[in-house]
Structure 1
Amino acid sequence: MTTTTARPRVARRRTECLVPGGLIALSLVPIVAGSARLTQLTTGATVTAENARFFDSPIPVVAHIIGSSVFLVLGALQFAPSLRRRRWHRIAGRVVAPAGLVSALSALWMTVFYDIPSAVTGPGLPAIRLLLGTAMAGAIVFAFVAIRRGDVRTHSAWMTRAYAIGLGAGTQVLVFLPYTLLAGTPAPLTYTALMTAGWVINLVVAEVLIRRRARAGRRRSGAPRAATGARLS
């Protein structure tokens, strides 16, 4: 009996680890890149046209790297159902939300004030970054307001959307890699399209997840009523 019961529990735990583990693995791409950037700034690397903006104004990029890293790692763990049912979820959320705001607001600052070389941008990309950075910050604020009034479902939906935007850098690598291997360095317009595709993919997956949660919630809330009706009849 004990062995039979333990096996499903172990299987559930392994399944629960798949989503957070996958998200953390995807997060490693921007985290490693950010760590390399921090190393450049702290060790006095050679200043080039591509990195001069970071040396001229290092505080925004440092805030962005730290905020994004914390948001992505702790945020990934928030997707584990067992942790969502524990006090840890609430405590971690008090760190995740501010870290996400730091990530989004610093990204907006860099988009507006950094002199970004044409080699690392494309036409229309700054406007898309401004739109999505604002959307990410807004989603976190909406999530905070929702949880303050006890609306867990709305809170979860908006934080999922914010996380999808924040994880864009990880997905963009997966989008760029096959294109670069097959066609070489993308043209400016293609660069913008590939960058945008990374965010779009994440947001589509987020909306699918949100709707699945909503359907599951409706089924759970409907089950007791159905059972009560059956007893009364």
Structure 2
Amino acid sequence: MTQAPATPPSTPPTTPPGPRPARRSRLVPAGLVALSLVPVVAGTLRLSELSGLALVGPDVLPDDTHLAAAPLVVHIVGASVYTVLGAFQFGGRRPPARHRLMGRILLPCGLAAALSGLWLTVFYPRRPVDVELLTVLRIGFGSAMAAALLLGLAAVLRRDHRAHRAWMTRGYALGLGAGSQAVIVSLWAAVAGQPAGNTRALLLGAGWAVNLAVAEWLIRRRRARRAVSA
């Protein structure tokens, strides 16, 4: 009596591979740099104006003559370096030596941007377009950014790398707020006209809030992945 030939075991259907890690590691910094492009360009134009080599006229950039040059320069340079260079701390794995070197550059730049922004907000007169609500939001989110950076520094000094990464992610998200603000305000202006007063202040606050919400989502998602793998 002959036996029926054994049927080969069925193979599970293959799923299409996800994006390559190398490609993803390039796309994340590129997207973050693109988001910071508008405030970096505006800051560069302001620096050119302060140096006497104005590339644009007063109709393009608002008049900031009431601001002292030194804290404004510190704020622009610190924020530009922090947002552009900080983008390359995200997306894929980085050599530890390079990560530490970039961190030693980014932390002073981030603190300089946050503290100089607070200085300008507190000690200099408000522009006519800036309402009291915007002053409160700038102080709150600027203080939160400085606190996040200092907490991130404290975490890495005690070798708590998970807390360090979480706090630095929050700090970078707040530092990148100007990029999201440019997008949100531009979309509002395209639909409902140029915002002013408290509406403008709330839209600018939304830029910080959206970035911080995305950062918290990424932090929780990272923790959930670690829990599943454990």
Which one-letter code corresponds to 1:108 in the other structure?
A: L
Which of 107, 113, 116 is the equivalent residue of 2:123?
113
Instruction: Give the match's secondary structure for 1:118.
Output: coil
Are 1:51 and 2:64 an aligned pair?
Answer: yes
Q: Which residue of structure 1 lines up, in the alignment, with residue 110 of structure 2?
A: 100
2:74 equivalent among 43, 63, 70: 63
Aligned to 1:75: 86
With the length of structure 2 as denominator, give the TM-score of the two structures: 0.86
1:13 alignment counterpart: 22
Take 2:83 and 2:206, find their aligned partners in 1: how far apart are those partners? 19
Mapped to 2, the partners of 1:72 and 1:187 lie a distance apart of 27
Other-structure match for 1:229: none
**Kindly tell me: are residues 10 and 199 of structure 1, through their superposed partners in 2, closer, same or farther at Cα, counting changes over 3 Å?**
closer
Q: In the TM superposition, what is the alpha-carbon distance from 1:136 to its structure 2 partner?
A: 0.6
1:194 to 197, 203, 209: 203
Asked whether the 8 Å contact 2:24–2:92 carries over to 1, the reply is no
Distance 2:18 2:198 in 1: 49
Q: Deviations over 1:3-45 (max 9, x none)?
A: xxxxx89932111111111001111111101000000000165
Name the counterpart of 1:171: 180
3-state secondary structure, aligned to 1:50: coil
Tell me the equivalent position of 1:28: 37
Q: Distance in 1 between matches of 2:121 and 2:144?
A: 14
Residue aligning to 1:4: none
Partner residue, 1:215: 224
Query: 1:36 is matched by which residue type in structure 2?
Result: L
Shift of 1:184: 1.4
RMSD value, Cα: 1.9
| 1:114-133 alignment, distance < 5 Å | 114-119=124-129, 121-133=130-142
- How many pairs are equivalent? 210
d(CA) in 2 for partners of 1:154, 1:89: 16
Aligned partner of 1:158 in structure 2 is 167
What's the offset of the Cα at 1:187? 2.8
Cross-structure match for 1:205: 214
Structure 1: which 4+ aligned runs deviate by more than 3 Å?
Answer: 44-49
How far apart, CA to CA, are the structure 1 residues paired with 2:50 and 2:74? 13
- The answer (yes or no) to whether the contact 2:74–2:113 under 8 Å persists in 1 is yes
**Overall identity of the aligned pairs, in %:** 44
CA distance in 2: counterparts of 1:72 and 1:44, whole angstroms:
25
User: Amino acid of the residue matched to residue 86 of structure 2?
Assistant: G
How far apart are the structure 2 equivalents of 1:175 and 1:13?
30
Mark the CA change 1:47 to 1:33 in structure 2 (over 3 Å): closer, same or farther. Answer: closer
| The one of 71, 83, 88 aligned to 2:98 | 88
Gaps of 5+ in 1: 1-7, 223-233
- 2:149 paired with 1:140: yes
- How far is 1:82 from its partner? 2.2
> 1:123·1:188 contact (CA, 8 Å) conserved in 2?
no
Letter paired with 2:122: V
More helix by share: 1
Structure 1 residues 109-161: Cα deviation after superposition (integer angstroms, max 9, x where no partner): 00011222122x13411011111111111110000000011101100010111
Partners of 1:75 and 1:136 lie apart in 2 by: 14
Contact 1:140 1:158 in 2 (8 A): yes
